[in-house]
Structure 1
Amino acid sequence: MIQLYAWDTPNARKISVALEEMGLTYRVEPVDITQGRQFQPDFLALSPNNRIPAIVDSEGPDNAPISVFESGAILVYLAEKTGLFLPATGRARVQVMEWLMWQMGGFGPMPGQVHHFLGVDEAQRAYGLERYQKETRRLYGVLDRRLAEGEHVAGALSIADFAILGWAWRHARHRIDLADFPNVQRWYAALMARPAVQRGFSAALT
């Protein structure tokens, strides 16, 4: 059994989607980040960076429990545990890892800044929004060009798609019209039509 420590955020949705797609049994432990739950000692023991999500797998390596923090690390762990959505070797694996790191390094931090500046007053937000919305649109453009080459970002459906989907899910909040990025729009609609993805996004994380 996998315990998922989460709240209703893009980074947590990456994991609920992956768990559903991989057919793994899991239970959600909500971590209410609006109330500072992420700073409690018991959670910090699992996630020293005080960020959700984190997991505890009771059947980890050598059948011993293991905790994993950071959403990218969790996706790689789950993919290697199940043998799904991450090729074992070669060029296909490199592609998945490239696009997973692209999400972790850009398509997450930049839209996340948009989220932040939407929450402050007009005087404070003007510069920040202009800067980060421009970069967010650029990243959607990168993704759109990549998806012009194929159905998924790295060949077959992979954890890289799940990672990026967690943030593309918030495109309206990013003030992005997916019609401006038709390849992203097609990819997004196809993924969101998958039953396991729908279960991942409807999982109660709060």
Structure 2
Amino acid sequence: MTDLAAALSREQSLLLTTMAHKYLMESEWPVWQFTVDQVQPYLQRVADVLVGAGLAEQQDVVVQRLAGDALAAAVVLNHAGAQALVWDERYGWRTAVSRRHPIGKDTGTPPEGDGIRYLSTEQQPEAAELLAALTDGRRGSRRPDTIHPAGLAEVYAEAERLEREEGPLVWNRGDAVRQHLGASAADDYLARVTLAA
């Protein structure tokens, strides 16, 4: 991750947590999380690509809502390397060791262990990218590189954690860029944001 990307990521995180506090108090939280209708067509396309590659039988992908409002789905494979592929909006795609219960019990932490491999840092990678990662055992990781908040509860929990560790959240546009890259980079960033508006 570049310094600019890290700075912007931190700035976005601060913005989201500050927004969480503000909107929770005013009950005006914007809806941003996925809906079943938004993700089901994507998940079905991935399943169809896996069928075309001979790695799965034709199946209708069913999206489940887990505790904490996270969405998840599974595609059962007929491939000896993994029993199933699981998509979770928080962690992206991973392999699973069970065909019968591939999603498993939601504990609020990413599943880990033998046979579990996270295949992409993106929530919705292209099906071809996912297929390549699945068939290349060198790709992927034992833990998700990125965890995407699935709902308001997770954003609020992160805001509370940051406040406990760092004190009250105060955010001004450009703060993270200024902190990580300096005043001139922040001024440049703010000028570009103003021009874009």
Tell me if TM exceeds 0.5: no
TM-score (norm 1): 0.24
Higher gyration radius (CA): 2
TM-score (norm 2): 0.24
Tell me which of the two structures has the higher relative contact order, counting C-alpha pairs closer than 8 angstroms and 6 or more residues apart. Answer: 1
Point out the structure with the larger helix share.
Answer: 1
